[in-house]
Amino acid sequence: MESMPVNWDALDSIVLDYAIADNLLHPSSPSSSPSLSPTLSLSSSSYHSRLLIQQIRQSLGSGDVDSALHLLQRHAPSVLDDHRLLFRLHKQKFIELLRKGTDADRDSAIRCLRMALAPFALDAYP
């Protein structure tokens, strides 16, 4: 049997609707949507993890590497023990700074290269 992709948002919505219907969870306000309620988003650790991963991906997709690093440091610091991942994140930060194109951003990119990217390169790829 072929493996079918899981629509995690739909699955989470069904589970949260069931939990609310059985009074296992209470929405923060009667008009709030279960998928938008902060109380409910924290009720499931896997759901919360997927939301966190989605936030990190959105930050990286928009070029905000610092926000992604902050989220990882705050919620999953052990992930940052992987020096190759850190190298890739700092490399992306360097690229994003260069993409901005201003002199100040170019100088920031050079500082990033010297202070973060080069040391992580030595640790990630000895």
Q: H-helix or E-strand containing 87? A: helix 83-100
What was the pLDDT predicted at 117?
86
Helices 103-112 and 83-100 cross at an angle (nearest 10°) of: 160
Percent of the chain with pLDDT over 90: 13
- Looking at residue 20, its pLDDT comes to 67
| Per-residue pLDDT, 39 | 44
What's the CA gap between 115 and 54, in Å, rounded?
28
Compute the average pLDDT of residues 72-76: 88
In the predicted structure, residue 64 carries a pLDDT above the cut 50: yes
| Statement: residue 1 has pLDDT above 70 | no
The DSSP result for 2-71, as a single string, is PPPPP-HHHHHHHHHHHHHHTTSS--SSTT--TTT-HHHHTT-HHHHHHHHHHHHHHHHHTT-HHHHHHH
Q: How far apart are CA 53 and CA 4, in angstroms?
A: 21
And the tokens for 21? 């219907």
pLDDT band at 3 (very low <50, low <70, confident <90, very high): low
* pLDDT over 70, % of the chain: 64
Higher pLDDT, 1 or 16: 16
Condensed to tens digits (0 to 9), the pLDDT of residues 48-61 reads 778 888 898 899 88
User: Average per-residue pLDDT in the chain?
Assistant: 76
Mean per-residue pLDDT for 68-97? 88
Between residues 24 and 43, the one the model is more confident about: 24
Cβ 51 vs Cβ 45: under 8 Å? no
